[in-house]
Amino acid sequence: MIETRWLDGEEQRTWRTFLMAVHLLDGALDRQLRHDAGIPHAYYQILAMLSEAPERELTMTRLARLLRSSPSRLSHAAARLETDGMIRRFKRPEDRRTTIVEITDSGMKALEEAAFGHVREVRRLVFDTLTHEQVDQLREISESMLGALDPQGEEPRYPDPEDPRATD
């Protein structure tokens, strides 16, 4: 029998404030990107991840894992992004099960253009409101939660050092 305590007053306040902030932040980022760049935040992240990958390409499965996306979700998203000419999908003879996704020049351009406004918004809504100490704290808190949310989740990240692209 598992005992489950209710949230105490302090936790309650924290939880509701956190939920509200996240809810509004999500909406704000998505709205800004859709309005200024015509793509949802999730699609921006797909492009960003691809832009940092070696050769600017990844298999669908690998990309899905990096983004913690379901294969299905990525597949739908890829269909749309491909129609828009931002990515290209193709197969290689080595393993004909896998599909390679590659970000196109047009996709890179769209990403770079979108990045300006996006980063400005992230700054305005998050980093400008926090002290350096709080940024530290937020990272540690997020890492703690990730431990419970994504136990086996490491996966490399291709951190392209000096590149003002895709800063998200």
Question: Which residues contact DNA (rule: CB under 7 A)?
Answer: 27, 31, 34, 39-40, 42-43, 59-62, 64, 69-80, 89, 94-100
- What is the rounded distance in angstroms from the CA atom of residue 11 to the CA atom of residue 135? 21
7 DSSP 8-state letter: P
Counting residues that bind a copy of itself (by CB under 8 A) gives 59
Q: DSSP for 12-71?
A: HHHHHHHHHHHHHHHHHHHHHHHHHHSS-HHHHHHHHHHHHSGGGEEEHHHHHHHTT--H
Binding residue (CB under 8 A) for a copy of itself from 38, 113, 135, 158 = 135
Q: Does 100 bind a copy of itself (CB under 8 A)?
A: no
Q: Does 138 bind a copy of itself (CB under 8 A)?
A: yes
- On whether the CB atoms of residues 38 and 81 are closer than 8 A, the answer is no
Rg for the chain (alpha carbons), in Å? 18
150 binds, among a copy of itself, DNA, none (CB under 5 to 8 A by kind): a copy of itself
User: CB-wise, 80 or 157, nearer to a copy of itself?
Assistant: 157
Binding residue (CB under 8 A) for a copy of itself from 2, 35, 55, 154 = 2
Contact characters 49-68, a copy of itself, x per CB under 8 A: -------------------x
Q: Does 122 bind a copy of itself (CB under 8 A)?
A: yes
Q: Does 116 bind a copy of itself (CB under 8 A)?
A: yes
User: CB-wise, 4 or 72, nearer to DNA?
Assistant: 72
84 DSSP 8-state letter: T
- On whether the CB atoms of residues 115 and 22 are closer than 8 A, the answer is no
78 torsion bin: left (phi>0), alpha (psi -120 to 50), beta (else):
alpha
Q: Which residues bind a copy of itself (CB under 8 A)?
A: 2, 4-7, 10-26, 28, 45, 68, 116, 119-120, 122-130, 134-150, 157, 159, 164, 167-168
